[in-house]
Structure 1
Amino acid sequence: MKQVTIYTDGACSGNPGPGGWGAILQYGPHRKELSGGEAQTTNNRMELTGVITALQALKEPCEVDLYSDSKYVLDALEKGWAKGWRARGWVKSDKKPALNSDLWAVLLDLCDYHTVHLHWVKGHAENPFNNRCDELAVAESRKFR
């Protein structure tokens, strides 16, 4: 199984507001940058979209080291919250609807397809890949202002 490293970040100017996401995929000496955005979205949707788009770019099942500064994404995956929401018909344990269920459904399927190892990185710190993803995300969000 190919070993791939992915960094992702999302950004939003206002929440909701114009948003963007950025991702860097690394496989051996190869590196690919992806980015995109939406005119009216939330930061959490952009964080999810960055991860989803990066994983969808992989053409076969891979072992992935995923780096993100989003506790929303990482905690929901690591702590099993998202799987619980899905099992309860996209209802949280407090009986409120789970937000972004459309994106969570796609991400959970991708995590079943790939072997994903989650890593938290501090945002806006000294990680050059996370910082580059932030630059990509912010640049995309500015296209919609």
Structure 2
Amino acid sequence: MTITAAADGSALGNPGPNGWAWYIDDANWAAGGSPHGTNNQGELRAVLELLQATAGISEKLMIECDSRYVIDSVTKWMPGWKRKGWRKSDGGPVLNRDLLEGIDEAIRGRDVEFSWVKGHAGHPLNEAADERANAAAKAYQAQQEPRRGPGFTMATDAGAAAAASAPIAAAATRGEQDAAASPAVATSLAEPLWAEPSDLLDSLYASVDDPIEVRLALSSDEHARLRDRAEAQGVTLEEALRRLI
């Protein structure tokens, strides 16, 4: 059986009051946050909390995220960062290292796959996680205690597990359908790679040792998309690439 869960983060003002949440079903979810943080920190925290909550299960875990930054950080870039002593290609420190190190430890030896889903597009698990993460961020903004949820409560006996598996199996099917349309670890630039424009330079830093390789590998359409992302951050693509050299 595959357990499918969504993980999401929210930051009011980004950075600002911060929330995170993971969601499997109404009986299995958790949320929390902090007075100050970013969207990326919230989503990384949600992934870490989900992995820790489900530690010891034998089932495969499918994690749905709407942040390419989070997925690529864990599945693509982290091995290189570790080899370089948690340094990026430019020699600067990797952001959110504490969360990434926690995920690296929690994921070790487990059957875990990530699937990208578009945020705010009607994916049931993602919408449920987003709602809870945003509510947690608003609670911290109001200096109130957030709803933390029941945590991971799935039954382990055969009968109860069979009953509990129905909504999870349905979610898993949705995850598999999404994965068929969009691979779990996508490498194409045809879809948005960054949840926020501010992720642009970090994504470029982490992608290759020689940033010129990014430009040479792009199709004209992909080049235009990447250029638009750079300009949304207030720099040209050439300027962004030069910063990496």
Provide the secondary structure at the position in 2 that maps to 1:113.
coil
- Contact preservation (8 Å) 2:74, 2:100: no
| 1:10 partner letter | G
Match of 2:100 in 1: 104
Distance, in Å, in 1 between the alignment partners of 2:4 and 2:40 is 21
Match of 1:52 in 2: 48
Match of 1:12 in 2: 11
Aligned length: 140
- TM-score by length of structure 2 reads 0.54
Q: Percent identity?
A: 38
Uncovered stretches (5+) of structure 1, i.e. residues with no partner: none
- Contact preservation (8 Å) 1:86, 1:105: no
1:28-67 alignment runs, 5 A limit: 31-62=27-58, 63-67=60-64
- Contact preservation (8 Å) 1:37, 1:46: yes
Structure with the largest fraction of helix: 2
- TM-score by length of structure 1 reads 0.89
TM-aligned CA distance change 1:124 to 1:95, over 3 Å: same
Distance, in Å, in 2 between the alignment partners of 1:64 and 1:110 is 12
Provide the secondary structure at the position in 2 that maps to 1:52.
helix
Aligned Cα root-mean-square deviation (Å): 1.6
**Deviation of the 1:32 alpha carbon:** 0.2
Higher relative contact order, chain-length normalized (CA < 8 Å, sep 6+):
1
The structure having more radius of gyration, on CA atoms, is 2
Provide the secondary structure at the position in 1 that maps to 2:92.
coil
Match of 1:70 in 2: 67
Runs of 4 or more, structure 1, over 6 Å off, are none
Uncovered stretches (5+) of structure 2, i.e. residues with no partner: 142-245
Structure with the largest fraction of strand: 1
